[in-house]
Structure 1
């Protein structure tokens, strides 16, 4: 049933990685449930152009904002530079654009719905006498680490951190199996004075002021962390897994024929390999993956951008023509729910992990940065639905051993059983009586102020 209200919601996207896509998915669902609420969506022109087609709900108004790069500046190619320039310029830019949107709509903004990275929205909302609702686009484990930044720094010691990397966070409920080296940079490791690290620390201090904080997950995945976060935040809502909801609404796009190829494979036999839209292992590791696949003879679907295919060993594609396919893009959600998929080789970005959980597929994890290490550690020792690559990087022999362990050995059968149980709980969460609908209603009530 649609909600009727004359609310005006300002949606502030973080225009990097998959953040814009994630907050848009939630905004579309909210806009559909509250058709008389206006959602003004603020994002950079470049990010908006990749998100929106001409077909969108009438109550979502799209605003292009500056990316904060001064005129004449040539970016170095380091992604952090673009992020820092945006964060420095964004408060002033967004204040002006919101004022313009309020005039156009004829309604004051009464809720700021923002990516949690845009931490200064808390102050902006207070100035505007609006509520602030924040979306943490990763999982409960990394959110817990950030919210406990000061406690971790006091307990571990920033200067002593190098000697304490193997220690576990036993002093935080629900993080007892997570090591210091697993938590994201900016908490106790890396450059704590970078703009990004300072942003994450500021966010950890102000999120408890938000009217609600929500994530794309489900309560049963980590009930201890859910309770912990509910005790720290005014309102904490799991509104996922969103992948299971979007599956019901989209036509499958499979330009490279991956699913037709899968139909000829035995159940739980195929390795699906993908490191997300923005990451690629270094050339030496791409070679090791190819060699490990070829010598193991495991059937595979490998999503690898065309520009990176030049790094594959000479003749690899010809020699493995019957064994597997290398494609520039693959329908990940559909592949992960296909019965032929036996293992997902992943960088452990949160959305990829959650999609694997929804498909009941064990993982081989090769984390790179950010929340990926803590996600990989959770996959391996908390949920026991996969393993991290041996010694942290791909080697031919190490990858072969991982494939054998997950696909053949008894260990792998246990991972598969555990993954199946979590899959059932994920599907239960989005069923008619599941936690998603209760939590989404809570989010809707908070956002449109009814």
Structure 2
């Protein structure tokens, strides 16, 4: 319950961000979709400086209309240098989480003191489970946002049951004992932080476990998905949560344009000519390849996939942020000269996947990539790398039947050629494309003016206002 009476002024909403991988961009897009429906609300976007600078185009004084950034401490000590071994990202996440509760509480008090207004609601990334405790102290509602889909959230809520049933035997057991899951799902599809008892002692494991325990206490849990994408998962979550709100696919919901959007459009136009190059290709003939913002293939797999593309003559666009020395010698120059493909550091993935020349998405199976494949009508070749990507890959194969996992789970030249031939063959991929078209239509219907996701988003605005 808010401490502020209705009608006394604009609502002030605090947004707490998990500042790593694709989380900040996802929650900003979600908040922008709310702000479009509620232009009288004021949102403060609490995030670390380097992430805010990226999202708000380097200016911490600029925002998107009624959304203003505010920097919180990233938890890194003065003079911090990343470790030479291990995983630098995991260490930075640990340092951030160790200090996040105090950092957010301090920042919230600073903004309230500077503005003279108390916050009326708290929105947070679901990873930040302690946001529920902050909201309770503030006597305001807690709305939490999950950037993935229904089934992966269900696993986190049921972690205790999973560990009891699996007892560390994570490879060969099925997940048929879980409501909403069939025997086609295997224990090997889920994260070790869920399946193994001792994994909960890691910083990431602790965060995920506490999140699963805390989510049922939230005023509303928001998911970037739509009900028809997973009816069983939605039904099970509704039994466990106070309020389930499905507002996806978020990338189909267009917020009101601002000056910052104009700058972004200019950046998108300068994408090394990818869209112009695609205009010259045959329909559904091009492989788009990307492994997300942090996903990276091992060097041998980069080489194997590159050899398959070149020797098989498959046109491609590869969004690649790794070490180009992992490509076969001369690969980029040869394929560029022959107009066979383009290796670029970044593209607007949604635009690429909506181009008629793209015939397959070779991906790590992150949730955003899957949603954008569906709304672009593009089949998937999956090579999951970490987190819930293995679970999502299983759903791609057996639930939605809109793609295949790479043979053996890792790229070899022969396996990649086989998968690409199947995906880019219009005859072999006919049924897959038909299923994707059905999901694409359902997604579009969900976000249409009277669709379920659109109605849920309106209801969420009412929850925040109340």
Common fold by TM > 0.5: yes
Match of 2:176 among 164, 170, 187: 170
Give the drift of 1:247. Answer: 9.2
Match of 1:216 among 197, 221, 224: 224
Per the normalisation by structure 2, the TM-score is 0.91
Match of 1:327 among 329, 333, 344: 344
For residues 71-98 of structure 1, give each alpha carbon's deviation from its aligned partner in whole angstroms, at most 9, with x where no partner exists: 3443315211111111110111111111
Residue in 1 aligned with 2:389? Answer: 372
Whether 2:243 is the aligned partner of 1:235: answer: yes
Residue in 1 aligned with 2:194? Answer: 187
Alpha-carbon contact 2:305-2:416 (below 8 Å) kept: yes
Distance change >3 Å, CA 281–CA 114, structure 1 → 2: same
Whether 2:215 is the aligned partner of 1:207: answer: yes
For residues 385-443 of structure 1, give each alpha carbon's deviation from its aligned partner in whole angstroms, at most 9, with x where no partner exists: 00111111110001011112222275522211111111111111111221121010121
**Alignment length (residue pairs):** 442
Give the drift of 1:4. Answer: 9.6
Residue in 2 aligned with 1:41? Answer: 45
Residue in 1 aligned with 2:4? Answer: none
Match of 1:256 among 254, 272, 282: 272
Give the drift of 1:58. Answer: 4.6
Distance 1:240 1:156 in 2: 32
Whether 2:22 is the aligned partner of 1:18: answer: yes
Distance 1:291 1:248 in 2: 44
Distance change >3 Å, CA 248–CA 327, structure 1 → 2: farther
Describe the SS at the equivalent of 1:102: helix
For residues 286-307 of structure 1, give each alpha carbon's deviation from its aligned partner in whole angstroms, at most 9, with x where no partner exists: 10011111122111111113x5
Give the drift of 1:371. Answer: 1.1
Which runs of 5 or more residues in structure 1 are unaligned? none
Alpha-carbon contact 1:254-1:330 (below 8 Å) kept: no
Residue in 2 aligned with 1:98? Answer: 108
Distance change >3 Å, CA 211–CA 342, structure 1 → 2: same
Q: Which runs of 4+ in 1 moved over 4 A?
A: 247-250
Distance 1:314 1:49 in 2: 36
Per the normalisation by structure 1, the TM-score is 0.94
Residue in 1 aligned with 2:3? Answer: none
Residue in 1 aligned with 2:430? Answer: 413
Residue in 1 aligned with 2:166? Answer: 156
Distance change >3 Å, CA 269–CA 38, structure 1 → 2: same
Describe the SS at the equivalent of 2:195: coil
Distance 1:5 1:178 in 2: 50
Residue in 2 aligned with 1:196? Answer: 204
Distance 2:201 2:289 in 1: 35
Match of 2:126 among 95, 116, 119: 116
Residue in 1 aligned with 2:312? Answer: 296
Describe the SS at the equivalent of 1:370: coil
Distance 2:270 2:422 in 1: 30
Alpha-carbon contact 2:381-2:406 (below 8 Å) kept: yes
Distance 1:155 1:196 in 2: 22
Alpha-carbon contact 1:32-1:57 (below 8 Å) kept: no
Alpha-carbon contact 2:200-2:209 (below 8 Å) kept: no
Give the drift of 1:315. Answer: 2.4
Distance change >3 Å, CA 219–CA 49, structure 1 → 2: same
Whether 2:343 is the aligned partner of 1:316: answer: no
Distance 1:448 1:172 in 2: 36
Alpha-carbon contact 2:12-2:41 (below 8 Å) kept: yes
Alpha-carbon contact 2:284-2:357 (below 8 Å) kept: yes
